[in-house]
Amino acid sequence: MSEVNEWSAEEIEEIQGRIVTALETVVDPELGIDIVNLGLIYEVELAKDGFCTIKMTLTTMGCPLADVITDDIHKALKDVPEVTDSEVKLVWYPAWTTDRMSRYARIALGIR
């Protein structure tokens, strides 16, 4: 049986912050911008056993690089010691639009 952690709400928030920081190292190969600044990450959940679920979308439903991005996410999360395992769930609602992008991503891609 796996160990159950008794993290406080503040600790979970801090760990989730480090998870998001790790996700910022995952770059969309086509756009050259990380998936956080692109607005592709919809939710980060961390269970008491360290299992992390990432709910995200892609810029297009038929994105040929979905597997590459998913693999990069799993690799990035290995740098967060509290994460024991992870799952990436692709969701399509709400649909991604350029409005979800950070100011940094919009400037980098020349989008107003």
**CATH class (in words) of the domain with range 9-100:** alpha beta
What local confidence, expressed as pLDDT, does residue 103 receive?
94
> Which residues neighbour 34 within 8 Å (Cβ) at sequence distance 6 or greater?
23, 24, 25, 26, 27, 28
User: What's the predicted TM-score (pTM) here?
Assistant: 0.89
End-to-end CA distance of the chain: 51
Going from the C-alpha of 75 to that of each of 37, 70, 89, the distances in angstroms are 19, 9, 16
State how far the Cα of 1 lies from the Cα of 58, in Å rounded to an integer: 35
10 Å Cβ neighbour count for 99? Answer: 8
pLDDT at 5: 77
Q: Do 90 and 40 touch, CB atoms closer than 8 A?
A: no
In eight-state DSSP terms, residue 6 is -
pLDDT tens-digit map of 37-79 = 999 999 999 998 999 999 999 988 888 889 999 999 999 999 9
Going from N- to C-terminal start, the domains of the chain cover 9-100
pLDDT of residue 1: 47
What are the pLDDT digits (tens) for 6-21?
888 899 889 999 999 9
The predicted pLDDT at position 78 comes to: 95
